[in-house]
């Protein structure tokens, strides 16, 4: 049943009207309703083509909708890159099952995307078209789904051996900066390279990219953020000094030159004992950056989450080797981070402190490096289940929405979400909102801001059998899969106006 509440200058009882009557009332008034499914076992199919679709990535489209890209095996042989745009009402805007971004020979995978500032998007990926090793390619797609550069994309780097583990940001001028792990000097001596491509698809820096760090041993898993002036800050994990891994950072200006030449192989962020890995980086809102990572300094066996801030001069702002975001027993891993809107950060991660099942936790760190919420973070959900693979988005007013995979023993994996306010309090249901509980497993959720206090989430889904599809769902500001209250005026025969509140 759909509940309708009546309001006017005269008190009226609250009544319930069947779904069919509601539909007739709303249709007769010409009121448009959203097309997003409002039940968690339905959801919006983004791509259900043959074979498998995987590795979705999502970004806002600037009008309350989103663009989703993924790796696609519909050809039955090698994977390609496809994309789809969905508007704020949940209506796919491009060709059914998505438009081709690249279907060159052999395989393409690991797509990443950013907005181009003109209603379109720039997408970069790993490309095996050479048949010998992975290269980096990119393509720009208009807001109407039309490729704007050469067919199958422009070369970002096709140097010797593999270029992998890429990330991408907008350059603020219609182009993008792309960073990657580069093995042109050998697998055991992987380095970090970067390239800037302009709005016309023309690489701006040295052919095959500029060196960010080419020190001895391995540099891996780079991430980057804009410096606000056409350049970037790049962070990575690095074995150039210790037996384990450390965390480094370097700045690039808009011309591709390093901005801290006194540290040609990067500035040390953390050089604690054992292994520090998987760094992620955000802007600090003041010309510098905040970097978080997984850290095994305590026992050398279990990872914790640490964080550090670097200013525009390359000087660390907080404690030597960073401060602990979370350091209880057992593993804390799979972390990700966003700005808190006030110069600090909000970090979320998968946490095994109970010793049995992983749960999702989050912590806010102030711009001075102080944990704001409870020690070792607040729980995001409280179900007696396995929670894993979180993703997070800032939605304004100090609030974030976090999504994750939630699995009850012997049952399929589902997608959940929760919103936390600036104090770390849960604003939606205690255990989170069920985004999808369709048949089969739902995994690998990725999230974007809907521009209205909620979020749009995309994921891999096997509700139709053994092959994965891509589905999406919007969760609204009110913490449900339904729109906020819709006020509809009704005038009776005597001319008196009542208001129907559709919930």
Instruction: State residue 483 phi and psi, 5-degree precision.
Output: -65, 165
Q: Looking at the predicted structure, is the pLDDT value of residue 105 above 80?
A: yes
pLDDT at residue 4 in the model: 37
Domain count, the chain: 1
Can you give the pLDDT at residue 383?
78
Handedness of CA 81, 188, 240, 349 (dihedral sign): positive
390-441 pLDDT per residue, tens: 999 999 999 999 999 999 888 899 999 999 999 999 999 999 999 999 999 9
Within a domain: residue 197?
no
How far is the CA of 45 from the CAs of 101, 176, 204, 366, 469, in angstroms? 19, 29, 38, 39, 8
Kindly list the distances between the CA atom of residue 384 and the CA atoms of 326, 331, 387, 465, in Å, as whole numbers in the listed order: 21, 18, 9, 27
Average pLDDT over residues 24-47: 70
Asked whether residue 8 is domain-assigned, the answer is yes
Residue 456 lies in a domain: no
**In what helix (H) or strand (E) does residue 20 lie, and over which residues does it extend?**
helix 19-29
pLDDT over 90 at 25, yes or no? no
pLDDT tens-place string over residues 236-246: 999 998 778 99
Contact 487, 499 (CB under 8 A): yes
Domain with 10, as residue range(s), is 1-33+483-503
CB of 180 closer than 8 Å to CB of 233 = no
User: Are the C-beta atoms of 350 and 332 separated by less than 8 Å?
Assistant: yes
Other CB atoms closer than 10 Å to residue 78's CB: what's the count? 16
* pLDDT-above-90 percentage for the chain: 83
What residues pair up with 497 in beta bridges, in sequence order? 491
Asked whether residue 15 is assigned to any structural domain, the reply reads yes
State phi, psi for 145 to the nearest 5 degrees.
90, 20
pLDDT at 466 over 90: no
Token pair recorded at residue 263? 């540290």
Do the domain assignments include residue 309? no
| Domain membership flag for residue 497 | yes
pLDDT for the residue 497: 45
What's the confidence (pLDDT) of residue 158? 98
pLDDT of residue 16 exceeding 60: no
The tokens for 15 are: 């009544």
* pLDDT in the model for residue 493: 57
**What is the secondary structure of 117-166 as a DSSP string?**
SSS-EEEEEEE-TTSSS-EEEEEEE-TTS-B-SSTT-EEEE--SS-EEEE
pLDDT tens string 312-332: 999 999 999 999 999 998 999
Report how far Cα 132 is from the mean position of its chain's Cα atoms.
Answer: 30
> Is residue 419 situated within a structural domain?
no
Domain-embedded: residue 29: yes
Please list, residue by residue across 264-280, b when 16 or more beta carbons sit within 10 angstroms of its beta carbon and e when fewer do.
ebbbbbbbbebbbbbbb
Long-range own/partner contacts, residues 417-423 (CB < 8 A, 24 or more apart): 417/447, 417/455, 417/457, 417/475, 418/360, 418/380, 418/381, 419/395, 419/453, 419/479, 420/346, 420/362, 420/378, 420/380, 421/397, 422/340, 422/364, 422/397, 422/398, 423/373
> Taking Cα atoms as reference points, which of 317, 455, 344 lies closest to residue 390?
455
C-beta of residue 141 within 8 angstroms of C-beta of residue 99: yes
């Amino acid at each position: 049943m759909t509940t309708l509440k009546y309001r006017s200058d005269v008190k009226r009882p609250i009544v319930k009207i069947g779904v069919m009557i509601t539909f007739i009332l709303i249709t007769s008034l010409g009121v448009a309703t959203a097309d997003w499914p409002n039940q968690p076992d339905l959801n919006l199919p983004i791509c259900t083509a043959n074979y498998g679709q995987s590795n979705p990535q999502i970004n806002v489209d600037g009008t309350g909708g989103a663009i989703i890209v993924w790796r696609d095996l519909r050809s039955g042989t090698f994977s390609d890159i496809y994309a789809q745009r969905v508007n704020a009402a949940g209506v796919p805007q491009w060709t059914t099952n998505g438009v081709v971004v690249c279907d060159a020979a052999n395989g393409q995978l690991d797509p990443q995307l950013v907005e181009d500032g003109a209603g379109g998007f720039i997408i970069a990926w790993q490309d095996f078209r050479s048949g010998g090793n992975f290269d980096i390619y990119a393509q720009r797609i208009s807001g109407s789904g039309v490729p704007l550069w050469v067919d199958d994309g422009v070369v970002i780097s096709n140097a010797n051996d593999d270029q992998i583990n890429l990330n991408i940001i907008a350059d603020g001028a219609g182009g993008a900066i792309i960073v990657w792990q580069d093995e042109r000097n050998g697998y055991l001596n992987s380095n970090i390279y970067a390239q800037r491509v302009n709005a016309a698809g023309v690489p701006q820096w040295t052919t095959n990219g500029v060196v960010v760090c080419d020190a001895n041993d391995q540099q891996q898993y780079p991430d980057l953020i804009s410096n606000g002036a056409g350049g970037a800050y790049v962070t990575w994990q690095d074995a150039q000094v210790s037996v384990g891994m450390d965390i480094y950072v370097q700045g690039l200006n808009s011309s591709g030159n390093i901005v801290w030449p006194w540290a040609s192989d990067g500035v040390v962020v953390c050089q604690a004992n054992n292994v520090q890995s998987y760094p992620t980086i955000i802007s600090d809102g003041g010309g510098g950056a905040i970097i978080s990572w997984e850290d095994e300094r305590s026992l050398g066996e279990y990872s914790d989450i640490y964080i550090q801030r670097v200013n525009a001069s390359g000087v660390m702002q907080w404690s030597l080797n960073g401060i602990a975001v979370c350091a209880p027993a057992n593993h804390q891993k799979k972390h990700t981070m966003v700005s808190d809107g006030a110069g600090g950060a909000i970090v979320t991660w998968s946490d095994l402190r109970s010793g049995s099942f992983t749960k999702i936790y989050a912590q806010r760190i102030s711009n001075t490096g102080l944990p704001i919420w409870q020690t070792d973070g607040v729980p995001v959900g409280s179900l007696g289940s396995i929670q894993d693979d979180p993703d997070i988005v800032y939605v304004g007013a100090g609030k974030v929405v976090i999504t994750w995979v939630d699995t009850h023993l012997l049952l399929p994996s589902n997608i959940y979400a929760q919103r936390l306010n600036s104090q770390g309090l849960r604003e939606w249901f205690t255990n989170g909102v069920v985004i999808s509980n369709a048949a089969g497993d739902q995994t690998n959720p990725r999230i974007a801001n809907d521009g209205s206090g909620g979020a749009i989430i995309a994921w891999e889904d096997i509700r139709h059998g053994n092959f994965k599809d891509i589905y999406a769902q919007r969760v609204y500001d009110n913490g449900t899969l339904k729109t906020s209250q819709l006020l509809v005026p009704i005038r009776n025969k005597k001319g008196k106006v009542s208001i129907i509140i559709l919930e």
